[in-house]
């Protein structure tokens, strides 16, 4: 959709990590008003709506992504396919209908269940404060027989997780420091660092508001199917235990995070 210069100028003042969502909302507002271009009026109307907290057309959830798909060189994993599958899953659960039965008045932004993707551990889209945060990850592995101990890979790691062992003189990765960004893999001139595993790190229970908290990470790196299973489990818990439209984090604080990791179905309240 074409944007007028005035509309662009205003939306560009929105913080970068929510700008993508803001642009989509403004474009939806313009389309709703029957326009094929975005005018300043649409930005203002959208802002008014946001300030009043009203989401009359809310699906009851939001799936947000970072700018990884626009060609970001830091991308460890691409979220498009998993995000699309999760969107279908969430739509099939009618979260808006569920929330409307547990809240009074119109659904507001803070009621929505938020799933947030970052395609690498830089986490530009702030997955730590979403109900479910999903972070692209690559676990590196050094092939000792190929490593010459040249140390070229050391400065590539911002976490200081790689060392060249004194005795064997091969690179060693400290798993407790590695955030699985995968940056070291392409820097090795001998191809001695390989991709051992590619997937997703998952956090649950993050939120802002009066009682903010960061999501707790489910230890490990998960495949696309495993990530879907975990989100499914979070939804089962959300539906079984939700009191008054509360956030997933409030529920997990009450019942514990173990059920997210467990394969057993949650006990209804
Ligand atoms: S989270 Fe990573 S992949 Fe996504 S935009 Fe930020 S740096 Fe790029
Ligand atoms: S994956 Fe990233 S954090 Fe881990 S060792 Fe390589 S560069 Fe360091
Ligand atoms: S750059 Fe490659 S060969 Fe050199 S120390 Fe690192 S892993 Fe070994």
Residue 127 CA: which ligand is closest?
1
* Residue 168 burial class via C-beta count within 10 angstroms: exposed 0-12, middle 13-18, buried 19 and up: exposed
Q: What DSSP letter does each residue of 110-168 carry, written as one string? A: GGSEEEEEESSTT-TT-GGGSSEEEEEEEEEEE-TTT-----TTGGG-TT--EEE-TTT
CB 259 within 8 A of CB 269: no
Q: Are residues 130 and 206 in the same domain?
A: yes
Residues 111, 143 within the same domain: no
Q: Quick one: pLDDT at residue 168?
A: 65
Structure tokens at 85: 């599958």
Q: Do 20 and 95 sit in the same domain of this protein?
A: no
Q: How far apart, in whole angstroms, are the C-alpha atoms of residue 114 and residue 60?
A: 9
Ligand 3: does its nearest atom lie under 6 Å from the Cβ of 171? yes
Of 69, 70, 75, the one to substitute when testing ligand 1's pocket (max ligand atoms within 8 A of C-beta) is 75
Handedness of CA 45, 209, 216, 97 (dihedral sign): negative
- Domains in the chain, number: 3
Place of tokens 């939806």: 28
- This prediction has a pTM of 0.82
Residue whose structure tokens are 């300043």: 40
Residues 205 and 124 in one domain: yes
Ligand nearest to the CA of 164: 3
Domain boundary among 147, 168, 197: 197
Q: For residue 68, which of 167, 143, 134, 155 has the smallest C-alpha distance?
A: 134
Does 59 share its domain with 191?
Answer: no
pLDDT of residue 49: 75
**Which pLDDT does position 150 carry in this prediction?**
93
Pocket test for ligand 1, best of 18, 20, 68 (most atoms within 8 A of CB): 68
Give the nearest ligand 3 atom to 164 CA.
5
- Cα distance between residue 45 and residue 251, in whole Å: 34
Are 213 and 129 in a shared domain? yes
Which domain CATH number covers 152? 3.30.70.20
Q: What is the C-alpha separation between 135 and 184, in angstroms, rounded?
A: 18
CA distance linking residue 50 with residue 19, whole number of Å: 13
Residues 5 and 96 in one domain: no
Which 3 state secondary structure label does DSSP give 267?
Answer: coil
Domain boundary among 163, 180, 197: 197
Same domain, residue pair 125 and 148? no
**What pLDDT does 51 receive?**
66
Q: Are residues 22 and 66 in the same domain?
A: no
Domain shared by 122 and 214, yes or no: yes
- What is the extent of the structural domain holding 170? 138-197
Instruction: List the chain pLDDT tens, one digit each, 269 residues.
Output: 899 999 998 888 887 767 877 888 889 888 888 888 989 988 888 887 776 655 556 889 999 999 898 899 999 999 999 999 999 999 999 999 999 888 887 777 788 999 999 999 999 999 999 999 999 999 999 998 999 999 999 999 999 999 997 766 899 999 999 999 999 999 999 999 999 999 999 999 999 989 999 999 999 999 999 999 999 999 999 999 999 899 999 999 999 998 887 655 445 44
Residue 42 belongs to a domain with what CATH number?
1.10.8.550
Which residue intervals of the chain are DSSP H helices? Answer: 5-11, 16-32, 40-52, 80-92, 95-100, 224-241, 248-255, 258-261
Examine the domain organization and report whether 8 and 94 are in the same domain.
no
Are 25 and 103 found together in one domain?
no
């Amino acid at each position: 959709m074409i944007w007028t210069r005035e509309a662009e100028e205003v939306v560009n003042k929105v913080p970068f990590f929510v700008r993508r969502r803001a642009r989509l909302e403004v474009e939806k507002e313009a389309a709703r008003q029957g326009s094929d271009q975005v005018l300043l009026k649409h930005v203002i109307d959208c802002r008014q709506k946001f300030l009043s907290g009203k989401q009359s057309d809310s699906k009851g959830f939001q799936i947000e992504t970072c700018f990884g798909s626009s060609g970001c060189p830091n991308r460890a994993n691409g979220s498009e396919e998993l995000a699309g599958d999760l969107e279908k899953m969430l739509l099939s659960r009618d979260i808006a209908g569920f929330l409307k039965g547990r809240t009074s008045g119109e659904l507001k932004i803070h009621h929505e269940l938020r799933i947030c993707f970052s395609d690498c551990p830089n986490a530009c889209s702030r997955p730590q404060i979403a109900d479910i945060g999903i972070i692209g990850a690559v676990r590196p592995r050094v092939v000792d027989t190929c490593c010459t101990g040249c140390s070229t890979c050391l400065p590539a790691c911002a976490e200081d997780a790689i060392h060249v062992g004194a005795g064997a003189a091969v690179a060693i990765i400290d798993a407790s420091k590695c955030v699985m960004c995968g940056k070291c893999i392409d820097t090795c001139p001998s191809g001695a660092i390989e991709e051992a595993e590619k997937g997703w790190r998952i956090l649950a229970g993050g939120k802002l508001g009066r009682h903010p908290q960061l999501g707790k990470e489910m230890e490990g790196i998960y495949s696309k199917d495993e990530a879907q299973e975990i989100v499914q489990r979070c939804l089962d818990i959300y539906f079984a235990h939700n009191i008054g439209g509360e956030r997933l984090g409030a529920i997990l604080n009450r019942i514990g995070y173990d059920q997210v990791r467990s394969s057993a179905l949650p006990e209804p309240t």
